[in-house]
A and B are shown apart, each in its own frame.
Chain A
Amino acid sequence: MLIRTYSPWSVMDRIQREMNQLFDDSYRSDRFRYPAVNMWTNDRSAVVTAELPGFSSKDIDISILDKTVMLKGKREIDGEKATWHRQERMSGEFERSFELPFPVEVDKVKASFDNGILSITLPRAEADKPRKIEIKST
């Protein structure tokens, strides 16, 4: 008799591992990953948020190919002829890509930028949505 054990933690582990793979860009380990990104999903769409204070929306590029989202941007730090006391804020260019858990309808992707927070809403591709299958009784 085959006994199957079920542990709720193994489900969590699997989800965590899958997410880790989506965000694994360790091949570029020499550069830290900027900006920090949060991702929210439900079965219909995903929302990605990133903190990019001081950037203007024209300095941020979002591109999507299949399930990969790439964020690129730059921020200049002013204060040329100046004496610096502290310089802690990130300056210069960044480029970061990560994968989504499902393909999306690229034409319906919306992005907004408020108070330095970038928010991208990505609706799931219709073809990828789970379909109910009817069972016919004979």
Chain B
Amino acid sequence: MRQNHSAGFLKYLPIFLLQLVMVLMTAMTQNARADEAMKTVDGISTFFLKNGMQVVAIPDHRAPVVTHMVWYRVGAADERPGKSGIAHFLEHLMFKGTKDIKPGDFSKIVARNGGQDNAFTSQDYTGYYQRIARDRLELVMKMEADRMRNLTLTDKDVLPERDVILEERRMRIDNDPSSRLSEQVSAALYVAHPYGKPIIGWENEMAGLTRKDALTFYRKYYAPNNAVLIVAGDVEPAELKTLATKYYGGLKPSEGIAKRVRPSEPVPDAERRVVLRDKDVRLPTMRRSYLTPSYTTAAPGEAEALSVLSELLGEGATSRLYTKLVVERKIASGAGSYFIGEHMDNGVFMFYGMPTGGKDIAEVEKAIDEVIAELLADGVTEKEVEHAKKILISDNIYSRDSQSGMARMFGAALTSGQTVEDVLDWPDRIEKVTAADVTAAARKYLRPENSVTGILLRAEKPAMEPAQ
């Protein structure tokens, strides 16, 4: 992320993307019928420009403002070996100017017009957005279209920005033992797939990234046929179609965009364990990640079952983990689970726990193991599945309150080859999940050999200083 507006790092947010092979097929077929009328489902419209760029309008007229986003189907997992961090570095460099916009002026122009802007990078996509008054939409469309193909970079701008991303890494990861552990758990979980690399990059590789690396990546991936435009807020689809054609329609597609195939994970074969000790740790914690399929790669209904499983197992004050470890046994101050099902290639089912009072982290881990063992032995009940489904479906209604949240949800899903219908159907697919589905998914994926357990402990003695 270019600017530290929000507390969270996108790495830890669920991320949507489907395989590009599907995306490209969709794009090509849609492209051939670009002149057909746009498709509108439940008020949300989508259409394609002739150069392959997908456009989505999410009207919401409650306030005279819009959220304008451009998403590229490229992320950290698409980086070449040895160049970790280049996707995120380029995200920063996209603010360094074009022939028409001077370095650093992009955000200043947006601000002068009463708008806010930022950008984000995930393993699977990179996105740029502005939130601004409706009557300034054309201005930001013009500037965003300009930098899609016309970025200019000089070392005078690139080198200080490389120092900035190194400082960003120190702030987000190196200064925080818990983030360092997360990084190591991911690195251990993926044997072959690039999801094991941190989005921000390994420090040693980041330090060697160059202007040329950034431009090579940019020229290959930043093009209308690799992008999705989302506009949510006070806009009508017909009006957006005119504007999108005017500003983005003339951009040349890239011919360098190949099918997005990353090295696939072999079948996991051994339970793994990562321990990080740091003398500043005051509160030991444990987490465990199980490799699963994602919404993209799972058999129909399986990812939905894992979402329901996570909800009933560890996502609320009456969930199994919280009830057992925190309320009844009083050994943990927190315990829970979540399912990250939105990556393009793999999902992760995650558990976490931390002790309460003077309890031992080993006791917390053992109790989590017992909850998992009981789940696998006895399965889940229809009653708890119904309860979890009701919560998930209501959350989906609440999410409609946020214009930028809606833009984000559709942007992430549509860059992954899903359709508007897929997003709108999600509550119906959740509704169909049965207790048998949930139990089967748990038994299939919560196996020790699919997992990495990470433990954060306090180092008893300070580390030795290296000799000067």
Q: Do A and B truly interact?
A: no
